[in-house]
Every structure is written in C-alpha cells, then in structure tokens.
Amino acid sequence: MRSKKYMNPYLAGFLLGLILLATIYITGRGLGASGAMKSVVIESVNTVAPQHAGNTQFYKEYAAEHPNGPLRSWLVFEVLGVIIGAFLSGVMSDRIGWKLEKGPKATNAMRIVGAITGGALFGLGSQLGRGCTSGSALSGMAVMSFGGIITMMSIFGMAYMLAFFFRRLWLK
C-alpha cells in the first residue's frame, strides 16, 4: 500500500491564494459554494412546483438574474470541479474509502447527527450571512473587506469556543 501523502499546507495555501486571485481577476467575484447549492434548490423548486416558483418574489428575482437557468451559474461548475478534483486527489493518493471518522468516545449516531446538524446550521448561516466561508471569509479577506475579516474571526472564534465542549469526544 502506498503511503498517504498530503500536500504541504503552506504550498496548498499559496496555491489557493493564486486560484482566488485568478477567480477575482477573471470573474470579478471571489470563490463561494453556497450559491451553487442555492441554484440547485431553485432549479428543484422550479421543476417540482413551477407555479409556486412563478408566484414567489425570491424565485422571480433569481430567474431574472440567471436568464439561462440557475444550473448554468458558474458556481455550480465550480462546486462540481471541487467534487471531481477531491475525488481524483483521493484516488491518486490512495485515500478513497468508506470510513466514519470519529473520536473514541463518540458513537456513530452522534457523529452522523452532529455532522448533519452542523451542516444544516452552516447552510442556514451562509444564507443569513450572504455567503459561505469561501465567499464571505476567504474572498472577503482577499479584498480586505471589513465584513470578510469579521466573518473569519467569528468562524474561528466560535470554533475555538465550541472545541472546548466537544474535545472530550475526540480525546482518549
């Protein structure tokens, strides 16, 4: 079995910065993933309940901003590229497998419920905050946005505060 090598984190951060810079230069906007999810949800509502979508102001405004359809947004292709790239990276480094990572004191159910709850809360927060970590924090800080700096400080600050309460699940 090959050793599971990871990219140097400093090099990875530098490359991410270059990608972010290129994205801002080419598109005039930074990176972000929550917009892609919003596009998928809107397309789903348009498909399942077109009358509701046609009568709701939110959907009408979004449709006006995306005349070619929500799934043609470049954010959808960005997220698909991230998924495909992550899969290829896992294959190349022999890290593909079905494994539920959890601490020794956490049960499988606790880990799954925690992941789903955390994901749902993060998704809700990304909509309330008008962007996800990538869009608000990373891209915001890249252009020295005060909101981006506050977002990044809030994300890491809250993570450090909550880590104190959940560390017992991950430590032996």
Q: What pLDDT is stored for residue 124 in this prediction?
A: 84
What tokens were used for 132?
């996800």
- At 9, which helix (H) or strand (E)? helix 9-27
pLDDT at 112 over 90: yes
The answer to whether 132 and 126 have CB atoms below 8 angstroms apart is yes
CA-to-CA distance for 151 and 126, rounded, in angstroms? Answer: 11
Nearest to 148 by CA among 162, 130, 161, 163: 130
Q: Is the separation of the CB atoms in 45 and 52 below 8 Å?
A: yes
Better-predicted residue by pLDDT, 113 or 164: 113
The model's pLDDT over 32-90, given as tens digits with 9 standing for 90+, comes to 777 788 888 888 898 899 899 889 998 888 888 888 887 777 778 888 888 898 899 88
Lowest mean pLDDT segment, chosen from 71-75, 100-104, 117-121:
71-75
Q: What is the pLDDT of residues 18-33, one digit of tens each?
A: 988 888 888 787 777 7
Res 14: pLDDT:
92
Band of the pLDDT at 170, cuts 50, 70, 90?
confident
Question: Average pLDDT for residues 108-131, to the nearest whole number?
Answer: 86
Q: What is the pLDDT of residue 1?
A: 47
pLDDT at residue 132 in the model? 76
pLDDT in tens, 2-12: 556 778 889 98
